[in-house]
Chains A and B, each alone.
Chain A
Amino acid sequence: EIVLTQSPATLSLSPGERATLSCTASQSVSSNLAWYQQKPGQAPRLLIYDASKRATGIPARFSGSGSGTDFTLTISSLESEDFALYYCQQRSSGPPAYTFGQGTELEIK
């Protein structure tokens, strides 16, 4: 089973700053990686799929990059509504079809 490790666990930044979140896979996942945002009491929301493609309705300040084992989610200029939990997720051909990282909490400094 592929393990995803996210870093840092917590990121403290101010509105307007740039956020860089990392996700490392224990083996290559090619570009089969997605990023989600989750706020308290809500389901995860898909931000990025296939490592770098923005999902429908996602603002351009969110971008994803990487392939193989190392991936990055960048938020170019933080807005107040961006402070939340972020998860990466990979898809495999067989069970488990999806595995998730442990999350990065993006908090207001």
Chain B
Amino acid sequence: QVQLQQSGPGLVKPSQTLSLTCVISGDSVSSDRATWNWIRQSPSRGLEWLGRTYYRSKWENDYAASVKSRIIINPDTSKNHFSLQLNSVTPEDTAVYYCARGGVALAGAGLDYWGQGTLVTVSS
């Protein structure tokens, strides 16, 4: 059974960096059949995919255009987790952040396992 466990602070000051980690159990961040994604949800923006990391002979990343200049998603094979860094945050980045697994055959176009969600509030 795959589980994704998120951790990180729930309050970040404007202009600072939002950092979250997603620990994977029951699968590997280095899997050549999965992608590891970050998604956020807010009343104003709905569900918004932010980016992903995945391994296909080498590490790859894709990012949403809306955050591309501010985001880094990194895998950590020694700890079997992946992380999200979002720089220069503003109150508009306030949202519930989720990690999720994608790209596996049994889920096709879907995201089949999700973390529990972390409410991140950007406020001074």
Contacts and interface: CB of A to CB of B under 8 A. Distances in A.
A31 to B, nearest CB: 8
Interface in B96-124: 98, 100, 102, 106-112, 114-117
B46 interface: yes
A102 B46 contact: yes
Contacts of B62: 94-95, 97
Contacts of B89: none
Nearest to A51: B109
A65 B112 CA distance: 19
Contact of B109 (A45, A50, A100, A103): A50
Interface residues of B, number: 28
B110 A55 contact: yes
A91 B107 CA distance: 12
B13 to A, nearest CB: 26
Q: Which of A87, A90, A91, A98 has the most CB of B within 10 A?
A: A98
B107 A43 contact: no
Contacts of A89: 47, 109-111
Interface in B7-64: 35, 37, 39, 46-49, 51-52, 62-64
A34 B65 contact: no
B102 A98 contact: yes
A53 interface: yes
Nearest to B6: A43
B103 to A, nearest CB: 9
Contacts of B116: 43
Given A43-B98, A97-B35, A32 B46 contact: no
Given A50-B108, A102-B46, A95 B64 contact: yes
A56 B106 CA distance: 8
Contacts of B98: 43-44
Contacts of A96: 49, 64-65
Interface of A: 31-34, 36, 42-46, 48-50, 53, 55-56, 87, 89-91, 94-100, 102-103
Interface of B: 35, 37, 39, 46-49, 51-52, 62-65, 68, 98, 100, 102, 106-112, 114-117
